[in-house]
Amino acid sequence: MGPGEDMTPSRIEMVALSVAVLWMAMPPAADAQSCSRSDFEAVVGEAAQALRALNHQNKPAFQAKLRELKAKRGWSHDQFLAAAAPIVQDQKISTYDEQSTAFLSRIEQLGAEATTAASPDCGRLAEVRKSMTDLVAVQKAKWAYMFERVTAELSR
């Protein structure tokens, strides 16, 4: 169907919520130099918001370009589905999806590890922050690439 469905906001939000819940179940940090649950929640919240904003901004515009391409080429619905598939799913897009899945898995793993720790591990928080930042970057790159592909098709 459309881009981003393999990496829907609900999947990302579900991972973010799961990790946040795991961190909230942990006892509060013992000293002032420790990171806190609110630090972690802020990282997850900011990344989840950035991903929702990316999807909200890009999905309707991308779908409009696909509809424009369908009209320009005079494709029936079935022709459109067959001809547009390579635009929304190729090896590079699959690589972006694999990278995103790897980041989500890492975030889930770090959250699960956090439940066994006596207090929040600031090193783990830094890893979660980096994974969330990288996940957002991969999704931005994926959207940019898909827009390049549909724009190139429209110009032919």
Task: Provide the residue range defining the domain that includes 71.
Answer: 5-25+34-155
* Mean pLDDT value across the chain: 79
The residue count of the chain comes to 156
- Residue 3 is predicted with a pLDDT of 44
Q: Is the pLDDT of residue 60 over 60?
A: yes
| pTM, two decimal places | 0.73
What is the per-residue pLDDT across 8-42, written as a single tens digit (0 to 9) for each?
444 555 555 555 544 444 444 433 357 777 777 77
Alpha carbon dihedral 110, 116, 120, 121, in 10-degree steps, equals -60
- Count of domains forming the chain: 1
Farthest CA pair distance, the chain = 66
